[in-house]
Every structure is written in structure tokens, then in C-alpha cells.
Amino acid sequence: MVKINEHYTEIGNNYLFAEVAKRVREFKANYPEKQVISLGIGDITQAIAPAVIEAIHKATDEMSDAKTLRGYAPDAGYDFLVNAILKHEFQDRGIHIEADEIFVSDGAKSDTGNIGDILGQDNQIAITDPAYPVYVDTNLMSGRNIELLPCTPDNHFVPPFPKKTADVIYLCYPNNPTGTVLTKDQLKLWVDYAIEHQSLILFDAAYEAFVSQENIPHSIFEIEGARQVAIEFRSFSKTAGFTGLRCGYTIVPKDLFAKTSKGEKLSLNALWKRRQSTKFNGTAYIIQRGAEAVFTPEGQTQTKETIAYYMQNAKIIKEALESLGLSCYGGVNAPYIWCQTPDKMTSWEFFDLLLNKVQVVGTPGSGFGASGEGFFRFTAFGNREATLQAVERIKTCLGTENN
């Protein structure tokens, strides 16, 4: 009989969001007249920028004519998109990246999950805790050793260096789920660690567009030396509402090398190129035209307006929680507010309290890792009306208890 990849028996069952959905479903079955509001989803709610929609329509029309029709896309993305990314995200910010270091893809989830394909099984992995579940689960799937780096208020959510020297380090800043950031100086210490130990940093910058403060890096390549030690993952998902359209890109500098068992140094850029050209056939032309339009003046204005709208939600949520005496983190350079539960409740106890008493849904922090226990994630991706309503309900729920 066929044998499975045994490591798949070691990963959890995507328990978190399934369990959230189950508890909400059960509540609704018992109280069909009550209206539930969600501040739990990590997905967009606002319409996609008109400039993007227009570009997508135009590209779709090109498909109806044999003269302008496009078939398979280049594996690493069309030049028009690669060049727009290069100019707006890197050259204009004084960051040295070259066109053949940019690999356009269908999103950062696939790339952060697939990057392990080109890395050996015996690498020692370090991952911040709590974290976006893809990093831990994909490394468990391939049977690698993982050390978790707890990020809590005690260390101001700055990950401690691993006890066991790490070959590969996952960092995500601005962070999902905590909404916290690293300053340039703090990130520099990790680049220095990686240079010293010849490690590789896998830097997830999915939320870079939400950075609002001066000394917070948008890209790890703003840090001196990072070209030698880092791969960066980026996405149009949260930046421009592409969660359902699908487009992202990964930067693999040509200064990056890893060794074979015989000690030979190989280029990770060449390996990733080989991996993508074998297993990936490019993102849809139509969607790449939509992504290109994000960089037009109209696209920039429109997508920035939407981000500002979400960040106003973040401010509303954070201020309300703080007015109730709760300790909150994030929400300034990220669309997530990471909040300590009241009265030392577990994450799930707080979930049940909010759902049963005032019908507000958030995400239990413990679902993102052991260090998330006692925390709760609220997202700013809702619409304003629902956010305001949710906040009033939370005040009713906790205000009457605490005062």
C-alpha cells in the first residue's frame, strides 16, 4: 500500500479557525435571533482600488483578441510588474535589488511554505512564538527541528536569540498576530547574528505597507549586510486587497549562498529559480496587470486610503480596549491588536465570554502558539460600522464587570 509522508501525522489539525467557526456556528444555532460581529478575520472587507479593477478589465479584454492574447506567463513574473516593483519598492527607497532577484508568485503563503524545498532537512530552525502557522507547520511537514522564540511583554515582543544556533530564522515584521514591530537597530542585531552564524533569515514583510513610524523598516534590505543573509516575502494581499486575486513576490538576493554536504557553495537565487521554473507556471497575466496598477499614482492614492481606513479601525479598537484597562500591543504599524485577556482568563475563556455575552468574535492568541496563551487578537480589517459596534459591545461586556 502507498505510504504517507509520516511527518504529516505530527502537525495539528488547523484547529484554530475551525474551532472558532464551530463555536460561532453552535452559538448561532442556539440563539438565531442574535447578530454576531467578527473582529477575528485576517481578510479584507473594503472594495479593491478602482485603478486595479480598471487594469484587470483592460487585461481581460486583451484575452479576447488573438493579437493581444497572453498564454503562459514567465515563471518569475512579467517585466512590466517586476520593473514596477523594483522602482517603487526598492530603487525609490534607495535599496539595492536587481530585477532577477524578484520572483513574482501567487502569494506569500505559498512562497513561505515552499521555500523549504531548496533547504536541507537537517537545518536547525528558529521561529518566533506566537507566529503565522505556515512556518511551524511546513517545517514539521518536512521533519525539521524547531526552536520557538517566545515573544511576550517581558521582552517587549523582541525575539530572544536561539539557545541552539539556528541555520534558518523566520521573522515576520510588522508581525501577525501581535502587530508589533522591530526597529532598524533591533533588526540589525538579527542580521548581525545571521552573518556571524552563517544563518538564513526568512523575512515575511506581508504587512510592510502598514508601517507608519519613521525608524521601522519596510524591508530587511534596508539593513546593511542583509543581502548576504536574507530572503524577503511580500504580498499584494494586505497591501492592496489581493487576498482573492492572488499576487505576491519574493526577493532572493544573488549574494546568498548555502552549502552542499560536500561543502560546495551554491546560489539560493539559482536554486529558487530552478524550483519555481519546475513547479510553478506564473501568476495570471490579468492579475499581474492589476498588481502593476497598484504602483500608478491613482493606485497608490487609492490603496493608501484603504490602509488608512483600516488603521483608523485599529486606533478605535486599541483606544477602546485601553480605556477598559487592558494591555494592548500593535495596532500602530500593523492591522492587528494583540490584547492581554482580563483577569488572567485563558484565550479561549475570553473568546467564550465575548461570544456568549456580547456576540463579538476575535481570535484566541493560544492558537498561534504557546506564548499566545492569555492573549487575544483583534483585526482592523472590518468595516467602520461593525468595528464601532463591536467596540461598544466589548465596553458593555467588560465595563460593567470591571467598574
Q: Which residues bind ligand PLP (CB under 6 A)?
A: 42, 107-109, 132, 172, 176, 204, 206, 235, 237-238, 243, 248
CB of 177 to ligand PLP, least distance (A): 8
Residue 27 to residues 46, 296, 332, 354, Cα–Cα distance (Å) = 27, 46, 33, 12
CB of 242 to ligand PLP, least distance (A): 7
CB of 6 to ligand PLP, least distance (A): 27
CB of 24 to ligand PLP, least distance (A): 21
Q: Which is nearer to ligand PLP, 151 or 353 (CB)?
A: 151
- The secondary element (H helix, E strand) that includes residue 286 is helix 285-293
Q: Which is nearer to ligand PLP, 42 or 374 (CB)?
A: 42
Q: Which is nearer to ligand PLP, 42 or 150 (CB)?
A: 42
Q: Which is nearer to ligand PLP, 107 or 282 (CB)?
A: 107
CB of 105 to ligand PLP, least distance (A): 8
CB of 343 to ligand PLP, least distance (A): 29
Helices (H), 345-383: 347-358
- Alpha carbons within 13 angstroms on the beta-carbon side of residue 41 total 16
Cα torsion for 190, 196, 198, 199, to the nearest 10°? -20
Q: Which is nearer to ligand PLP, 132 or 378 (CB)?
A: 132
Q: Which of 225, 206, 184, 218 lies closest to 107, judged by CA?
A: 206
CB of 76 to ligand PLP, least distance (A): 16
End-to-end CA distance of the chain: 64
Q: Which is nearer to ligand PLP, 248 or 253 (CB)?
A: 248
- Check if the beta carbon of residue 357 is closer than 8 Å to that of residue 397: yes
Q: Which is nearer to ligand PLP, 252 or 355 (CB)?
A: 252
What's the rounded Cα separation, in Å, for the pair 128 and 377? 16
Residue showing cell 466589548: 394
The full DSSP string for 243-301 is: TTT--EEEE--TT-EEE-TTS-EEEHHHHHHHHHHHH-----HHHHHHHHHTTSHHHHH
The three three-digit cell numbers of residue 320, written as one number = 477602546
- Check if the beta carbon of residue 332 is closer than 8 Å to that of residue 322: no
